[in-house]
Amino acid sequence: MRFLIIGGDAAGMSAASRAKRKNPDLEVIVLEKTRDVSYSACGMPYNIADPERDMDELVVRRAEVFIEKNNINLLIGHRAERINTGSKTVSGDTLDGRPFSFSYDFLLIATGAAPVMPDLPGFDLPGVMPLKNLEHGRAIKDFITKNKVKKAVILGMGYIGLEMCEALRERAIEVDMVKPRKPFLPWLVPALSEVVYNEVVQNNVRLYAGSSVKKIISTDRGLSLECDNITLETDMVIAASGVTPCSKIASEAGLETGVSNAIAVDFQLRTSDKTIYAAGDCADAVHVVTGKKCWIPLALRANRAGWAVADNVCGTETRLDGVAGTSVFRVFSLEVARTGLNMKEAEENGFDPVENTIKTRSRAHAHPGSTTIYVSMVGDRTTGRLIGVQMVGQEGVAHRINAPAVALHSKMSVQAFAQCDLAYAPPFSPVWDPMLTAANQLLKKI
């Protein structure tokens, strides 16, 4: 039996490795269009911040290890272009132009997501680059060094954009950030968003929210961005306006797509063709709070989904219940985290949401080094159910968000969460952990 996989990063290689462990006699072929497999894309901004680090440090396992140790037929530089569901074949071309075609018994589409690049004049100029894969990371780092970059413009103010603004400032590069919509972080509670905004500005980053780029032109001094109400001169531009699922090969094969044009899958990661699976950033999921389909591209889901596909292909039926959208990022001295729904999302999904925001301490009040933590918690007035949590602070945020994430997966009420036995010691928390204080205060409103 042949298990064919399109895409050799998180979901694809997780599926390939697990399938060979479970069934060593299974023929596993992986088609990867780039030269890189199994790497930590999330670590790229931190690597770019340090000119002495090699980008290849982010490679978790090299292609030859999968080939020699795991006996996986990993074919790099192979771009899959077409799926024929009738003949059960995948065809495409190698990077040097040679055509190929492989048959399959089971197929996994793990094509990931692609950076959004506006269809505007100048986005094909040298020095205008996205950051999504390791090739992008190498190109950015190489461009900074070779061109002695002093100024950069980042398009977008999301997770990657904010991590990159910190990385560039670490290298003494001036940074301007531009985005078309006015709110700085629209998904974050305004009080918490203001804290993050002030942190970024205090680190000498200029923010231009509510300004759309019209075009980029090349000048004698570098690049010039013409926006709605401002012109920015720069040495390089990093496009960080988000990503979109790479689902074209699936939709052209007649497979169903859904929310955000991601490939529609069931709880076993099967597509509308039951011999074809999809996993990772190209596929949708079910949100554990709403019970509805969503598209939230996250690394843990990609790896977990790859494992589940391998189990199902090898005959062990495995189901993934869904995601809560739990995420965290760092920008300068702040940790920013969320799980579940905010007020707007809760209202749009038919809840009767109640929100409360608190400002408290990361450690016991008399313990040195204590810093401020902001927590916003949302519950449902009708059922009392916990719906979502957001946090911002200098410490104690990144791992604290995991407690409400577990509560969301367990469909706990705010009252039940307020009764949880959370750890206490003065260096780590007040007696009443910020999570418990937030829950107790929200209960009063509910």
Residue that has been written with the tokens 């408290």 in this structure: 360
Per DSSP, what are the bridge partners of residue 177?
A: 154, 207
In angstroms, rounded to a whole number, what is the distance separating the alpha carbons of residues 91 and 252? 13
Task: Identify whether the C-beta of residue 417 lies closer than 8 Å to the C-beta of residue 404.
Answer: yes
Q: Where does 57-189 have alpha helices with state H?
A: 63-68, 134-146, 159-170
Backbone angles phi, psi at 110, to 5 degrees: -130, 55
Q: What is the pLDDT of residue 252?
A: 98
What own/partner pairs with CB < 8 Å and gap ≥ 24 does 403-409 have?
Answer: 403/435, 404/339, 404/340, 404/377, 404/435, 405/324, 405/326, 405/339, 405/340, 408/288, 408/289, 408/324, 408/339, 408/340, 409/288, 409/321, 409/324
**What residues contact residue 172 under an 8 Å CB cut-off, 6+ apart?**
none
Element (H, E) at 155: strand 151-155
Structure tokens at 356: 């409360």
Per DSSP, what are the bridge partners of residue 215?
A: 226
In angstroms, rounded to a whole number, what is the distance separating the alpha carbons of residues 240 and 178? 10
What is the signed CA dihedral for 2, 323, 293, 83, rounded to 10 degrees? -20
Q: What is the pLDDT of residue 240?
A: 95
Structure tokens at 154: 């980042």
Residue that has been written with the tokens 């959004």 in this structure: 116
In angstroms, rounded to a whole number, what is the distance separating the alpha carbons of residues 437 and 420? 12
Task: Identify whether the C-beta of residue 185 lies closer than 8 Å to the C-beta of residue 157.
Answer: yes
Q: What is the pLDDT of residue 69?
A: 86
Backbone angles phi, psi at 411, to 5 degrees: 55, 45
Enzyme catalytic residues: 42
What is the signed CA dihedral for 194, 198, 201, 206, rounded to 10 degrees? 10
pLDDT under 70: residue ranges of the chain: none
> Which regions of 22-137 does DSSP assign to beta strands (E)?
27-32, 73-76, 78-84, 89-94, 99-103, 106-109, 113-115, 128-130
Q: What is the pLDDT of residue 68?
A: 87
Q: What is the pLDDT of residue 64?
A: 87
Element (H, E) at 276: strand 276-278
What residue type is 67 in one-letter code?
A: I
Per DSSP, what are the bridge partners of residue 114?
A: 244
**What residues contact residue 80 under an 8 Å CB cut-off, 6+ apart?**
6, 31, 33, 90, 91, 92, 111, 249
In angstroms, rounded to a whole number, what is the distance separating the alpha carbons of residues 218 and 64? 41
